[in-house]
């Protein structure tokens, strides 16, 4: 499992940023730099680590796609944390990265290196709306072939416009790390992730989703970390009702909503960045 690192490599304060389903660790470039700048300005030592979850980015692909599931990802993160050995651990997880964070932060007997102090859940909770799963299933696994970065950016925007307003330059910067050479000698590009991610996703039924929900609520209710729940006001994945319930049980998350954004905020806009930097470092 590859990861991107910002700040001071020897710092005992680690902020772990974990991306969404088809994304990768470079999604957090803007936020990581802002966190490091704030730490430097206030005399704090900080290390920001942004893994490429297995099957994405620079990380290896699995021979068996059934391993592309939350419990396995959580085990991978525990192995990474054992290597990093943070003295203070904060976690920001977008969508899938938030589900992994709930599992890790909800471990009742977590080892010292995996005890989460502050947790940011970005547009995700124990209940995932079924229509959002169906929407994601329509594009998951279709990694495409693109003649240019710009054509790839345009295609990605067609399925990710719910991320909210971005300038063309911001969107291109988010798109570049999502691409790799197709490898057929044509010079074309394709998305970086393993198309087999779609296999376990397609196997989800309303019944298995309900079982997963029960386990995630159990994990959420065991979280002791100070928790910030970020929601895109137009999100189709995290309902207002689930978000409200998350403020009333478990760690009783503080809810922050961003207007004009669906699933999910990207922490490129200054107001989104500022909110997270303040929560984690002040």
pLDDT band at residue 176, thresholds of 50, 70 and 90?
Answer: very high
Q: What is the pLDDT of residues 23-55, one digit of tens each?
A: 999 999 999 999 999 999 999 999 999 999 999
Task: Please report, to the nearest 10 degrees, the dihedral formed by the alpha carbons of residues 8, 227, 236, 74 taken in order.
Answer: 60
Q: Is the pLDDT of residue 206 over 90?
A: no
> What is the CB neighbour count within 10 angstroms for residue 87?
11
Query: Is 17 contained in some domain?
Result: yes
Average pLDDT, the chain: 96
Query: CATH code at 211?
Result: 3.40.50.1820
User: Which tens digit of pLDDT belongs to each residue from 87-113?
Assistant: 999 999 999 999 999 999 999 999 999
**Beta-bridge partners for 3:** 51
Confidence check: pLDDT of 116 > 90: yes
Put simply, whether the predicted model's pTM sits higher than 0.85 gets the answer yes
Between the alpha carbon of residue 250 and those of residues 5, 96, 103, the distances in Å are 31, 19, 13
Q: How many structural domains does the chain have?
A: 1
Is residue 183 situated within a structural domain?
no
Domain assignment of residue 263, given as a range: 3-129+206-281
Residue 167 lies in a domain: no
Cβ-based burial of 222 (10 A; exposed 0-12, middle 13-18, buried ≥19)? middle
Contact (CB, 8 A) for 200 and 66: yes
E strand or H helix at 281: helix 270-281
Give the confidence band of 114 by pLDDT, cuts at 50, 70, 90: very high
- 130-139 vs 206-221: helix crossing angle, rounded to 10: 110
Question: Which range has the worst mean pLDDT, 87-91, 136-140, 173-177?
Answer: 136-140
Look at residue 67 in the predicted model and tell me its pLDDT.
97
**Span 151-174, average pLDDT:** 95
Q: Establish if 171 belongs to a structural domain.
A: no
């Amino acid at each position: 499992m590859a990861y991107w690192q910002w700040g001071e490599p020897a710092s005992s304060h680690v902020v772990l940023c974990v991306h969404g389903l088809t994304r990768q660790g470079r999604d957090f470039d803007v936020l990581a730099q802002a966190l490091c700048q704030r730490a430097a300005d206030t005399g704090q030592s900080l290390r920001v680590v942004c893994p490429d979850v297995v099957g994405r980015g620079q990380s290896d692909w699995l021979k068996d796609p059934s391993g592309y599931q939350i419990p396995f990802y959580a085990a991978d993160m525990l192995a990474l944390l054992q290597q990093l050995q943070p003295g203070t651990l904060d976690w920001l997880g977008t969508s899938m990265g938030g589900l992994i964070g709930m599992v890790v932060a909800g471990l009742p007997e977590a080892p010292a290196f995996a005890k989460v102090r502050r947790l940011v859940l970005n547009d995700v909770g124990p209940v995932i709306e079924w229509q959002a799963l169906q929407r994601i299933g329509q594009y998951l696994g279709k990694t495409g072939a693109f003649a240019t970065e710009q054509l790839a950016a345009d295609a990605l925007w067609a399925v990710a416009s719910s991320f909210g307003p971005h300038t063309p330059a911001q969107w291109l910067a988010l798109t570049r790390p999502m691409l790799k050479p197709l490898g057929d000698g044509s010079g074309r590009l394709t998305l970086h992730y393993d198309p087999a991610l779609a296999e376990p996703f397609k196997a989800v039924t309303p019944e298995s989703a309900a079982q997963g929900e029960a386990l995630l609520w159990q994990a959420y209710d065991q979280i002791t970390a100070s928790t910030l729940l970020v929601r895109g006001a137009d999100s189709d994945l995290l309902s207002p009702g689930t978000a409200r319930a998350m403020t009333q049980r478990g760690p009783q998350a503080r809810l922050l909503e961003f207007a004009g954004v669906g699933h999910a905020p990207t922490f490129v806009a200054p107001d989104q960045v500022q909110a997270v930097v303040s929560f984690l470092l002040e």
